Amino acid sequence: MPAARHLLSLAGGSYRTVRFVARDTPLRLALFAALALAASWPLLSSAALFNEFRDAHVLGHYESAARDSVLRWHQAPLWDPYYCGGMYLLGTPQARFVSPTFLFTLLFGETRGEALTAFAMMMLGLEGTFRYARDRGATRFGALLAAPMFALSGIFAVSPVLGWIGFFGFELLPWMALGVRRALVCKRMGIVLTAVAAAWCVGFGGTYAAPIAALWCAFEVAEFVVTHVRSRRPKLLSGLGVAAAGVALATALAAVRLWPIAQTMDEAPRIIGGTPGNTWKILMRMFFFPLRSASDDGEFYLGFFVAPAALLGLVRRRSIGLAAAAVLCTWLAAGYEATPSLFSALRELPLYETLRYPERFLVPLGLAAATLAARGISLAEAHARMQRAPHAQRDGRWRWRRVAAVAVFATASVALAAGIGPLVAQHTLHARERSLGSLPVADAAGHFHQARGSRWALAYYEPMQRGSLSCWEAYPVPESPLLRGDLQSEERIVEPGAGTVTERSWTPNAIDLDVTLSRPATVAVNQNWHSGWRSNAGEVRSDHGLLTVALPEGTHALSLRFEPRSAVGGALVSLVAAGALAFLAVRARRAPGVTTLREGGVLALLAAAPVVPFLFALRAPTQRTFAEPLLTPDGRPVVADGLDEAAVRIDAKFADGVVLEAATLSTPDPAAGSDISLELDWRRSARVDPGLGIFVHIEPSSGTGQNGDHVLLSGVLAPEDAPPDRTLRDVIPLFVPGDARGKTWKVWVGLWHVRRGGSRVPLLDAGHTQSDGDRVLAVSFVPR
C-alpha cells in the first residue's frame, strides 16, 4: 500500500503542477515553446540547408525572390522575373511572404527563416488551441493536455518535408475560430483577432488553410445561430452584426493579397478535374497510424491516444456542435468515396471548386478532436474533484463512484499526455526523410537574363541572377511562347534595322532603357506581359503574351514600371483596415464589449471605412488588357466558323448538346517514333453542363494503351466557356511509340463529367463511326 500511496501522491503532485503551469501564462508559453522546440529541432538544426524536394524549390523561391526585392532592389515584392518568364509575385496564391514571419526571412535568409517560421507557428498553434478549447468550456488542465494534439499533428510534421510551409497557416485556425466566437458575443477583441488571423492566413499562402478556416468560421456562426435563435434573439442579431464587421475588416485587412490573387485567378483560373476520394480505412490510417514510408499513413497523425479523452468529450451535451463539425470534416475528407459526397457539393461553390485533396479536411478534424479531448478531460476532472457533504461521503456507492471517476480521469489524462511523445517523434522521423542541399553563393554583380532553366532545380537560378522559363504552378501561369532562354540581350527592337535599345538600369519592378528609333517600332522585353506594366512613353502591349512597348520615331529614355492597380489599391484598403483595427484594439482595452447602439454604429463605420480607398482605387485609370485569340498548339484559332476541308466527318451526338463533328490525324499513316497530332472538332449548343471533360483512349491491338484525357480544348479553353454553334478545334499532340509499328491503333473519344462525379455523358448518336459504351471511334491507324 505505501507504493500505491506514493503513486497517488505523485499523480496528485503532477496534476497540481500541470494546473499551475496552465494557469500561469508565461509558464504555459514556456512549456509550449519547449514542445515546439522539440518538434522543430531537426528543422532548426538543418536550417542552413535547403530542401531539394521539387515543391520546396518553387515555394521557397517565392520567399527568396521577395526577400531579394526588398533587400537587394529596395522595392516592394510585386514582380518576379526569375520564374516562368516573369509573374505577378504578390498575386501568386502560394507565396507566403505577406505575413509577420517574413521578418525571419528578411533577417536570416529563406532557409533559416523557414525553420524559425515552423517553430514560431507551432508555438502559436499550441496557444491558439489552448485558448480555443478554453473558450469551448474546457478546463485549463484539459486544454493544456489537448493543445499539442492539434498544433503538433501530422500535417505540421509532413509539410516541411515537402516544402509546404504555407500549411502552417492551419495553426491560425483556432485563433480565427476563437475570434469569431468572441465577436459573436460582441467582444471587440474578437473582431481584431478574426481579422488579423484571417489576413495572416491569406498572406501566408494558405490556399487550403484559408478556405477551410472560412468554412470552420461559418460553422461557428451557424452553431451560434442554432443555439440563440429561439430564446436569445436580440443577442443573436447583435452578435451577427459584430461578427459581420469582423468578416468585413478581415477581408479588408487581407486585401493587399486578396485583390492581387483574385486578379491572377481571374486571368488564369485553376481548373481541377477528377473525383478524388478516400476510403474510411485510408482516413483512419492517415489520422491514427504513425508514419510509414511510401504510404499515406500518418499524414494527419493524431494517434489513438486522443481517443479516450475525445470519446469522453462526446458525452457532454454542449459538445454536439464539435461532434457535428467532426462528422462534417470526416465526410468531406472522404471526398467522392462517400455517397452522397459532401466534397462534391462543396466544389460547386466558387473558390472551393479548386480544392483537389479532400483528405486535408482531416486537419480541422484534428482541431475538433483535440477540443473534444480537452472537454472530455474537463468532464472527468470535474467528476473526480466533485465534493460531497460529509454524510454523503460516508456512502459506499459514492466512494466507489468517485474512485471510478478518478480512474477514468487519470486514464484519459495519461493517455493524452502519452500521445505527445509520438507526436513530437513524428516530426523528427519526417524531417529525416528530407533531401537537403546547399545553395550556391549569390552572384551579387551578375546581370539578369532568362535561361531555359528547370523548375526541378529552381532554387539555384535566382542566386545566379538567371530566370527559369521552365515553369510549374498549380494554375496556368500566363507565359509567352516567344520567351527565349538564349538571347544575348534581354531587350531588342522587333523590327530589324529600326534602331537600337540599351539597358540603363534593371530591377524586378523597374526597367530603364535608352531607345533610338529611325521609324516607329516595338521594343520587346524578354519577360511576360502583365496589365500592371506601365511606361513613360509609347504604349505597353502584349505580343502573344510577351512584354512589348510600341514607340514612335526618335530617342526615348524609356521607363517601364510594374504598378498593378490591384497591389496599390489592395495596399490602401489594408492600410485603412489596419488603422480601424488598431483603434478597435485600443478601445477594447477600456471597453471590451459592444453594448450600445451608438457603439454599434461606430463599429459599422469602422468596418465600412476600407470601402473608401477601394472605390478610390477602382476610379484609377483602367489598365489595358489584351485578349488575344486562343490558339491551338499548331498556331490556328481554337474557335472557327466551320470545319477544314480535309476534316473527316463523324457527327456523333452526345447528351448535354455536344457534337463531335470531325476527327482528323495530322498524318494518316504516321511512322513509329514520330510526333503527330489528332484534331477533334467539337460544337456545343447554347447550354452545356459545366465541368465537362474529354476522354481519349488510345488503344493498340496489343500492348499498353495511352490516355489523352483532358479538360481544356487545345489546352486553353473550357467547353463551358466556348461560344455555342461554332467549330471548336481540340488539337491533341500524340507521340507514336517506337514499338507501335504494325499494330492497329484505335482512338476512342467521349465526354465525362470530370468535375461532377465522373460519370460519362451518354452518347445519343454515333454518327458515321462505331461506338462502344458512350464513346466513339475517332480514328484508327497502323504506324509504319
Partner 1 sequence: MNVVAWAPFALLCAIGLGRALTASAPSQPPSADEAERRDAFRYVASDEAAERREAAKTFPTDLWSRDDDFHQREAKRARDWARTHHVGVGAALSAIDQGLREHWPSGSSVPLVATVPPCRPRAIY
Residues 395-434 within binding reach of partner 1 (CB under 8 A): none
Burial class (CB in 10 A: 0-12, 13-18, 19+), 584: buried
With respect to partner 1, which residue has the nearer C-beta, 240 or 272?
272
With respect to partner 1, which residue has the nearer C-beta, 21 or 328?
21
Helix (H, G, I), strand (E, B) or coil at 47: coil
Near partner 1 by CB under 8 A: residue from 478, 499, 670, 750: 478
Report the distance separating Cα 469 and Cα 189, nearest Å: 46
Taking the complex as a whole, the smallest distance from the CB of residue 337 to partner 1 amounts, in Å, to: 16
With respect to partner 1, which residue has the nearer C-beta, 395 or 669?
669
What is the rounded (10 degree) CA torsion for 253, 254, 257, 258? -120
Near partner 1 by CB under 8 A: residue from 240, 324, 382, 474: 474
With respect to partner 1, which residue has the nearer C-beta, 446 or 579?
446
Near partner 1 by CB under 8 A: residue from 337, 656, 689, 709: 709
Report the distance separating Cα 676 and Cα 734, nearest Å: 5
Taking the complex as a whole, the smallest distance from the CB of residue 157 to partner 1 amounts, in Å, to: 17
Which single residue is written with the C-alpha cell 475528407?
Answer: 333
Report the distance separating Cα 362 and Cα 213, nearest Å: 12
Taking the complex as a whole, the smallest distance from the CB of residue 147 to partner 1 amounts, in Å, to: 15
Stretch that binds partner 1, among 109-117, 180-188, 307-315, 500-508 (CB under 8 A): 109-117
| 620 is an interface residue for partner 1 by CB under 8 A | no
Which single residue is written with the C-alpha cell 502552417?
Answer: 168
Ranges within 429-468 binding partner 1 (CB under 8 A): 437-441, 449, 451-457, 460-461, 463-464, 466
Burial class (CB in 10 A: 0-12, 13-18, 19+), 682: buried
| 710 is an interface residue for partner 1 by CB under 8 A | yes
| 675 is an interface residue for partner 1 by CB under 8 A | yes
Taking the complex as a whole, the smallest distance from the CB of residue 150 to partner 1 amounts, in Å, to: 20
Taking the complex as a whole, the smallest distance from the CB of residue 293 to partner 1 amounts, in Å, to: 21
Taking the complex as a whole, the smallest distance from the CB of residue 270 to partner 1 amounts, in Å, to: 8
Stretch that binds partner 1, among 68-76, 376-384, 409-417, 732-740 (CB under 8 A): 732-740
| 760 is an interface residue for partner 1 by CB under 8 A | no
Ranges within 335-394 binding partner 1 (CB under 8 A): 356
Stretch that binds partner 1, among 28-36, 238-246, 376-384, 664-672 (CB under 8 A): 28-36
Entry field: residues in the chain:
784
Stretch that binds partner 1, among 206-214, 281-289, 479-487, 637-645 (CB under 8 A): 479-487
Which cell numbers in the block locate residue 46?
538543418
Helix (H, G, I), strand (E, B) or coil at 268: coil
With respect to partner 1, which residue has the nearer C-beta, 484 or 653?
484
Near partner 1 by CB under 8 A: residue from 48, 407, 582, 605: 48
| 59 is an interface residue for partner 1 by CB under 8 A | no
With respect to partner 1, which residue has the nearer C-beta, 306 or 712?
712
With respect to partner 1, which residue has the nearer C-beta, 116 or 197?
116
Taking the complex as a whole, the smallest distance from the CB of residue 477 to partner 1 amounts, in Å, to: 4
Near partner 1 by CB under 8 A: residue from 11, 19, 37, 640: 37
What radius of gyration do the chain's Cα atoms show? 30
Stretch that binds partner 1, among 33-41, 246-254, 555-563, 572-580 (CB under 8 A): 33-41
Report the distance separating Cα 63 and Cα 110, nearest Å: 6
| 626 is an interface residue for partner 1 by CB under 8 A | no
| 476 is an interface residue for partner 1 by CB under 8 A | yes
Among 477, 486, 489, CA closest to 529: 477
Ranges within 630-659 binding partner 1 (CB under 8 A): 633
What is the rounded (10 degree) CA torsion for 299, 303, 309, 311? 70
Near partner 1 by CB under 8 A: residue from 227, 265, 274, 667: 274
Near partner 1 by CB under 8 A: residue from 11, 49, 414, 640: 49
Q: Are the CB atoms for 136 and 322 separated by under 8 Å?
A: yes
Q: Judge if the upstream peptide bond of residue 340 is cis by omega within 30 degrees of 0.
A: yes
Query: What residues contact residue 587 under an 8 Å CB cut-off, 6+ apart?
Result: 188
Helix (H, G, I), strand (E, B) or coil at 223: helix
Near partner 1 by CB under 8 A: residue from 520, 600, 657, 715: 715
Which phi and psi angles does 33 have, rounded to 5°?
A: -65, -40
| 673 is an interface residue for partner 1 by CB under 8 A | yes
Taking the complex as a whole, the smallest distance from the CB of residue 163 to partner 1 amounts, in Å, to: 16
Q: Are the CB atoms for 502 and 511 separated by under 8 Å?
A: no
Burial class (CB in 10 A: 0-12, 13-18, 19+), 13: exposed
Helix (H, G, I), strand (E, B) or coil at 486: coil
Taking the complex as a whole, the smallest distance from the CB of residue 124 to partner 1 amounts, in Å, to: 12
Stretch that binds partner 1, among 20-28, 164-172, 223-231, 775-783 (CB under 8 A): 20-28
Taking the complex as a whole, the smallest distance from the CB of residue 25 to partner 1 amounts, in Å, to: 8
Taking the complex as a whole, the smallest distance from the CB of residue 368 to partner 1 amounts, in Å, to: 28
Helix (H, G, I), strand (E, B) or coil at 726: coil
Q: Are the CB atoms for 261 and 205 separated by under 8 Å?
A: no
Report the distance separating Cα 474 and Cα 93, nearest Å: 9
Which single residue is written with the C-alpha cell 505505501?
Answer: 2
Near partner 1 by CB under 8 A: residue from 481, 579, 724, 762: 481
Q: Are the CB atoms for 126 and 173 separated by under 8 Å?
A: no
Query: What residues contact residue 178 under an 8 Å CB cut-off, 6+ apart?
Result: 128, 131, 132, 135, 190, 193
Indicate the residue type of 191: I
For residue 437, how many other CB atoms are within 10 A of its CB?
15
In the stretch 182-221, what mask flags binding to partner 1 with x, by CB under 8 A? ----------------------------------------
Near partner 1 by CB under 8 A: residue from 44, 106, 425, 647: 44
Q: What is the distance in angstroms between the CA of the first residue and the CA of the last residue of the chain?
A: 91
Taking the complex as a whole, the smallest distance from the CB of residue 762 to partner 1 amounts, in Å, to: 21
Judged by CB under 8 A, the number of residues near partner 1 is 90
Helix (H, G, I), strand (E, B) or coil at 500: strand
Stretch that binds partner 1, among 215-223, 401-409, 565-573, 726-734 (CB under 8 A): 726-734
| 273 is an interface residue for partner 1 by CB under 8 A | yes
Near partner 1 by CB under 8 A: residue from 592, 593, 708, 767: 708
| 480 is an interface residue for partner 1 by CB under 8 A | yes
| 545 is an interface residue for partner 1 by CB under 8 A | yes
Indicate the residue type of 64: S
Between strands 449-451 and 466-468, the pairing is parallel
| 64 is an interface residue for partner 1 by CB under 8 A | no
Report the distance separating Cα 232 and Cα 255, nearest Å: 34
Between strands 706-707 and 658-665, the pairing is unpaired
Stretch that binds partner 1, among 186-194, 211-219, 242-250, 480-488 (CB under 8 A): 480-488
The three state secondary structure string of 685-722 is CCCCCCCEEEEEEEEECCCCCEECCECCECCCECHHHC
Indicate the residue type of 620: A
